Structure 1
Amino acid sequence: MCVFVLLPKLIDMNSRESQLKAIDRLLTIMDELRAQCPWDKKQTLQSLRHLTIEETYELGDAILDNDLDEVRKELGDLLLHIVFYAKIGSETGDFDIADVANGISEKLVHRHPHIYGDVSAQTEEEVKKNWENIKLKEGKSSVLEGVPASLPALVKANRIQDKVAGVGFDWERPEQVLEKVQEELAELEQEVNSGAEDRIEAEFGDVLFSMVNYARFLNVNPENALERTNKKFIRRFQFLESKAKESGRSLKEMSLAEMDVFWEEAKKA
């Protein structure tokens, strides 16, 4: 009986040991590369920044494609960047990997009082509200301070709406949001008919913002949804290109009706 009770714990301990050993190996390799590799020695926080952004997008692509092997690889690339930044921080005496790990651990404990304290939160919505209220108590003057200015506009709109909803500034029902979308579309159409270009852009932005909000109520991530559509369009258009090439013609030589035949084929492929 005791064997069956203890075995899962032993397995967990062995797994944790192997995980810590793997992290230790990566830290050692980073130390060696930083000391011996000409390229690694030259890198700074600033020089790595755009590479980190690129790796993040590559991870996002792998997740959308549900390519778990690629997800594993891209996570490794991102982990390398975290270790790299921490190594640079240790060289300047500002922080090291332990500071990074302890910092996020302390934040998680502090912001989950329903797990580590005496606060009650039974639903996801209650957790979000507690999270935003705690951040305000930490000295933030606005719940929107945590939204990075450099985020792509679509992602930023989603984060803005998610954060204000966390403190109760939100619609009550999806139908209300859909009505707002329809209202914004009507206002856009009015400006299109008037020909006021500056107003058209403003109203178009309102339509997109309301659509992002509606997506949230449908539990749809707008960035993921749009990127899936991008990938679908690329796949179908490249099918169209290949079919045109097989027929010995370029797309410019084909009529829209002819291209549409291949497009319909692409939708079935």
Structure 2
Amino acid sequence: MDHDLQGLDTGSYNFEYQCVDTELHDAVHKNPTFVGARVPFHILVTKLTREEGISVCKLHNLPIPKRRLAGEIRAALEAHDCQIHDNLVSLWRFFPGEVEKAPKVERKSRNEKVPFSDAYRSDQQERKFRDLDTARFKRRLATGRLPNTEFPPNPLEVKDVHRISRGVAAQFDPRKFEEAGCAVCGCLTEKTKLTKLEDFKPSLDLLKVPGVTRQERFSITDDVRELDGPVLASGCEHVCVSCEDALAQNKIPKLALANSCWIGDIPPQLQGLKYAE
């Protein structure tokens, strides 16, 4: 067995593992397809795959690299030198017959632009999708669901430019962004979604809740009195849609000031306070 794989029977040989001379006879006897050969260690290392390199590292008690990359394993084995190299025999599994070489794959340049259809669809799939699109277009055209438009379109007329300009200006009209407070809940709401109190039809008697409001006192001796009338936010003259719908159903809105949410006007002395104050 003191030879490499050159001169053996024609076929392919796959590396299995290494063993000492005393174990060679038993290994070949158990598996007749095994062939023992002494291959120089520096040559053997270059022929090993990642898994085969890991098995050889375990045999030589070498630390396996963390990332277990084939290049790192090969470098660790090439740098290793021990006294048992001469006593080791490599076992190879023999596969008779001519070895068929894998066809050479032509690699395309990364800079070469690949069409979308070639990269993600086969030719058969591309034809299928194209036929479906064509049939769908013809069906929609026959049923009249596709407008019979001309392409390219005619240039815009002056009246169309003015119409589009007026539409854009109307979308940015300040009146569509202005907000005001709701007298019932005090929330800021767009003015376009508010109703004036004078035009408000539902009754506000539901908002006359006792024990919620309190008049301002200027001394400790002043009596504690409530505000008269429904609990509303002072200075607000509109009602939002949600509050209007709730009152129309004889229900107090959830966020209504009358629902124990009333605070009252903040005195000028307490307005604009800083954090420390």
Query: Normalising to structure 2: TM-score of the pair?
Result: 0.21
More helix by share: 1
> Could you say which structure has the larger radius of gyration?
2
More strand by share: 2
Higher RCO by CA contacts (8 Å cutoff, separation 6 or greater): 2
Query: Normalising to structure 1: TM-score of the pair?
Result: 0.21
